[in-house]
A = this chain, B = another copy of it.
Amino acid sequence: MSVATRETAGQAVTLEDIERAAERIRVLAKKTPVLRSRLFDQAAGIQTFFKCENLQRGGSFKIRGALNFLLSLSPEERKRGVVTFSSGNHAQAVAIAADYLGVAATIVMPTDAPKAKLEPTRAYGPKIVFFDRLRESREEIAEKLAAETGAVLLPSFDHPWIMAGQGTAVLELLHEYPELDAILTPLGGGGLFSGTLIVAKALRPGIRVFGVEPELASDWHQSLQRGERVEIAPPPTIADGLRTTAPGKSTFPVVQALADGIVLVSEEEIKAAVRFLLTRMKMLVEPSGAVAAGALLASKLPQGIRSAGVILSGGNVDLDVLAAICSEA
């Protein structure tokens, strides 16, 4: 395990870490717009504020964590290069950030990664190593590569620097709209959700924060019910960014301590949300990025919440997947 990971493992992330990350990532990450839609508010019955990370550089929020990680390394560590693993958006983010900073990057990707995520990643020139998502462990492959080459392992979510970076999206949202009753984020490995929980509860102790995951990928829901990290089989959900099989070691305790609940959405609810955002708001959001909007459209929040911030976490979707989603309407 790399120096960077050793030094910070188990270290709690604070509001100050997230504020410092926000300063750091300004060189490359966009302050994304917060959009409203009268039609969505009518359909959901809740005033909704969309934080549009689908319009972020690289098409998802992942640049925030990747950039914060790379900029937190020492110059010596950056020289050794990084190894990471990802189904797509994190891969593209690391490729962009590493290219910008002149850091050598090796990326372990599943053979069935969406083309919309693979091709732009490749364009930034990292070394790409493929693995079989159903038979091999991407963590093991990445750790082996890191050990062999001396490169720093850059986790896709399970690290304080990543969590702090991802928390900057909601830091921006709450600076712009401090009075929200609730915040909803998609929930895969928990990097975005844990960063969000830390910043939101520090700035607004009374705010309610929910993670949203597909019914087909309910590792978080099961883990919180059992009180320990549960591992599930590779989930077949259309939300390819939320196909993680277990909560992260660093993210789980944060979620356990601070989350107000996990909301589950069906595949149909996810696709309906993609279609609503597309046809009514004219905006492309990938299935993983639309789960929180899906939860609102399906009225899955507890009573009494009148305004909600929703992270639209990404917009990278293959055209054949999008064609199928449109055809099913």
Nearest chain B residue, comparing its CB with the CB of A327: B323
Cα distance A275–B278 in the bound complex, in angstroms: 13
| B residues near A4, Cβ cutoff 8 Å | none
What interface size band does chain A fall in? 20 to 34
Cα distance A278–B275 in the bound complex, in angstroms: 13
How many copies of this chain? 2
Cα distance A275–B116 in the bound complex, in angstroms: 12
Known: A284-B282, A284-B283. A320 touches B315 (CB 8 A): no
Check: A141 CB closer than 8 A to any chain B CB.
no
CB-contacts of A295-329 with B (<8 A) = 315, 317, 319-320, 322-324, 326-327, 329
| B residues near A329, Cβ cutoff 8 Å | 319
Check: A98 CB closer than 8 A to any chain B CB.
no
Cα distance A59–B280 in the bound complex, in angstroms: 8
Check: A111 CB closer than 8 A to any chain B CB.
no
CB-contacts of A40-73 with B (<8 A) = 54-55, 59
Task: For the complex formed, measure the closest distance between the CB of A25 and the CB atoms of chain B, giving whole angstroms.
Answer: 18
Check: A285 CB closer than 8 A to any chain B CB.
yes
- The residues of A with any CB-CB pair to B shorter than 8 Å are 54-55, 59, 116, 275, 278-279, 282-285, 315, 317, 319-320, 322-324, 326-327, 329
Beyond the given pairs A282-B284, A319-B327, A320-B327, 7 more chain A to chain B contacts, judged by CB atoms under 8 angstroms and listed by A's residue number, are A55-B282, A279-B319, A283-B283, A283-B284, A319-B326, A322-B323, A323-B323
